[in-house]
A and B are shown apart, each in its own frame.
Chain A
Amino acid sequence: MDLVIARPEGLYCPAGDFYIDPWRPVERSVITHAHGDHARTGNQHYLAAAPGEGILRSRLGQDINLQTLAYGEPLVHHGVTLSFHPAGHVLGSAQVRLEYQGEVWVASGDYKVEPDGTCAPFEPVRCHTFITESTFGLPIYRWQPQAQIFAGINDWWQANIAAGKASVLFCYSFGKAQRILHGIDASIGPILSHGAVEPLNRVYREAGIHIPETLYAGDFNKTDPLLRQALIIAPPSAGGSSWIKRFGDYSDAFASGWMRLRGTRRRRGVDRGFVLSDHADWPGLLWAIEQTGAERVMVTHGSVGVLVRHLREKGLDAQGFTTEYGDDEEEAGA
């Protein structure tokens, strides 16, 4: 019997009668992480990993009916043993392990295999069936070590200071922004963050993650010379807005896995593209799948067809799951 099936409301566990990251309101939801396409409002009950509580409440409302479990802590519900395991995607992100009558399934949500210091690193969990994402499921997607990317951002920032320009870095405001803040060299100059980014910085700081001091961009005048040295972290939606005009002659950049392709880089129309993703790259996906030891793999959102075919050729029983998960990076990158 399948422990998880695809239903119009979302991924459903029939034995336990609950949904994982449902996209329509349901009675019981298990949430892998707080990105908008996975954590939606309107569910009666929420269950999530404890480190994600702050973010979930700040995004879905302080008063949601939320129960949390520490990573690894089991909960038995209708005979299904459920536990959360780090997915390394963003703060509080988790894979969901389900065990029922000796059968083990793991739903990964979104994951990244390179540890980044802002969330618990991805932990492979042995299982019979693994539900994997496939956002970057093509062999053209291979990430460089993040240290190289951060060094590139530092260099770009310093060059802009030398040229008397502000540095505007667009990135997804939850997860990517904090990872960048955590990774860059904050001694280079002042850091400003957009109003959409700052509240998330606060939650990360409260969780004990080191995020350097950030100033609120809205507090500065266009003429303030400090802006010419500043790194400004802003969501993609701020591009082209009147908000951005206050930075005068600035250089802009975009941080996303999609920046790997010249076409998306150019479509964005920014000066620089930094290839930095919170998702696994192609080798990362294959490594993670292999580590689970799973013989059966269900592939969700991304390059479903490609990954399914590739896994089948490797002898695994793979199939696609239709979901309504968009992709945080897709939205930002397209």
Chain B
Amino acid sequence: MTTTNNRDVQWMTWFFPAWYAVFGVIICLLTRVTPPPRPDVTAVDKVAFFAQHHTTIQIGFVLLLILLGGAALTNGLVCYQIKRMSVGSVFAYGYIGGMSVGALPGFLLVTVCFLTAAYRPDRNPELISLLYDLGMLSYNGSLGCFTAAYLVLAIAILYDRNEVFPKWFAYVSIWQIITEVIATQMFVFPSGPFAWNGSIAFWLAVVVFSIWLGALIMLLRAAAAKEAAQ
């Protein structure tokens, strides 16, 4: 039995969770966008939010701007595994396309909005309030963009005859789509369970996302190990 030398792939399966972990620190501890600050507050409160987290917002989002390119690698790793499936490469490219499109409203817009708000703290509070809303709505509500990526991933897994990923992960990816669909309600409600900080639109979605991401990290490792033994 020959073994495949996929050292580079195995190295990437460590980079993947490491990059997501750094991103976790950025969005949770530094920039404070997750868990999200409340939508149902006044302009004065929003100005106070930016004043309180001014420094860490700048550090965090500047870091994000530099590290966002790492998404090319993490998405590339998943793309590599999809290409190993028996379905056509189109699914792999669909995944990359979907994730890439999503990054724009998903991360870059909130980055620019929040950095702009922090740039001149003495700006008109109504404008700062606008940047706050725009950033948060974009960050949380744009999750629908990733729907296409999850859908092609799910379909690829279900039709794959090479058993790269287990079928249950396709179903977990479909759960992701459902929570993204619900997330669209954030644009309608400034408070309550469907707001961007709501129990259903946000918290339940975070639980599902954590399950999805955790499973993906494990499955990428397992797939690389299986490939090395082939």
Q: Real complex partners, A and B?
A: no
